[in-house]
Amino acid sequence: MTVDRTGRGYQLGHDEREYRVWPSGGPPSAGRAFPNTAEGWQQAWKEFEVLEANLPPAPPPPVRTRKPGRARRRKRVLLTVGILVVAIAGLVGLVQLVGAGPGKSGGRVLLTEDFSEAVSGSGDIDQIEYVDGTLHVTPTGGESEATVTLSACESPFIGLCDTGKAALRVSADVQLSGQRGSEAAVGIGCANRDSDIGYAFVLAATNPPQFVVYADGDALATAVAPAGFPIDRRHRFEVQCLSGSGGSGTTLVLDVDGDEVIRATDTSRDHTFFDAMALVVVGAGTVGVFDNAVIQEP
């Protein structure tokens, strides 16, 4: 049984015959089965969402365990910390784009990271810490935003770093924690490490909450979150950055918890290649909690 999603209390997985949702730590046979069809996937995903939503609130996180500089072994991940300017103010008037329907897809997996131990890398390690198998990112030193970049840059995927990908899919469990002022936001994105450009897809703690796509720091598109959307819970973000040819622009897609919430096209920038995943946190005192990161081909 291949595990597709891991939540706080349940797992969702599949084999050739069926999807299953079962309690974490137990055997898949202990859970409910759904047929391995498109309709079965939607039913399994809805079951997973309902079970996770009915769990009791998570206890306060434990104290800091270790930082990246104390990693016991090096993993095939390059982690850097930098700044990508993102402004939450001025969202009024942006076009709202809302899609429909849960989906499940994705090609060859290039990197998976569950943050069960520190990853190798460099940067301002005071901005990140590992807590209970998750990565916590917090802007520090007077900065209002922190960006952590993950990239698989060793064999057999060295080509990803040599040339990048014209199309990249990245996903992760994302949670907004800590102080949540009107400028607070958390999300993920596609990045090019050499040129320090990319797209960020974030959940902004505005009133009402909004999902926003940023292109090199400029707000490109936004969608208002559904009424009652729990901004302080863990959500699954899945992003696609698909560069076109002949000036057709870059198609940008954000799925949250299996539902497409934004689909937009950027024709004003030439972002041909992506070689990394960005974890983005905005707002002084804001804490972004990340887990189960995946980089893959669309």
Nearest to 138 by CA among 283, 292, 293: 283
pLDDT at 175: 94
Residues 289/281, Cβ–Cβ less than 8 Å:
no
How confident is the prediction along the chain (298 residues), in pLDDT tens digits per residue? 888 888 778 898 888 899 999 998 889 888 999 998 888 888 988 898 889 888 876 443 333 333 333 333 333 344 554 544 444 433 333 333 333 333 345 678 888 888 887 765 434 455 788 888 899 998 876 677 888 888 765 434 444 455 556 788 999 999 998 877 778 899 999 887 766 668 999 999 888 889 999 887 788 899 999 888 998 899 999 999 888 766 678 899 999 999 999 999 888 876 667 878 889 998 888 899 999 998 888 8
The distance in angstroms from the start CA to the end CA of the chain is: 22
pLDDT at 236: 95
pTM: 0.66
How far is Cα 232 from Cα 217, in angstroms, rounded to an integer? Answer: 24
How far is Cα 173 from Cα 195, in angstroms, rounded to an integer? Answer: 26
> Which tokens belong to 45?
């995903």
Looking at the DSSP bridge assignments, the partners of residue 206 are none
| CATH class of the domain defined by 68-296 | mainly beta
How far is Cα 189 from Cα 168, in angstroms, rounded to an integer? Answer: 10
How far is Cα 224 from Cα 285, in angstroms, rounded to an integer? Answer: 24
Nearest to 191 by CA among 76, 286, 83: 83
How far is Cα 277 from Cα 221, in angstroms, rounded to an integer? Answer: 20
Query: CATH 2.60.120.200 spans which residues of the chain?
Result: 68-296
The single residue listed with the structure tokens 């505005």 is 206
Q: Report the Cα 174 to chain-centroid distance in Å.
A: 6
> Which tokens belong to 229?
């959307």
Strands (E), 143-196: 145-151, 167-178, 185-192
pLDDT at 171: 94
> Quick check: helix, strand or coil at residue 286?
strand
Taking the CA of residue 151 as centre, how many other CA atoms within 13 Å lie in the half-sphere pointing to its CB? Answer: 26
pLDDT at 70: 32
Nearest to 91 by CA among 278, 285, 262: 262
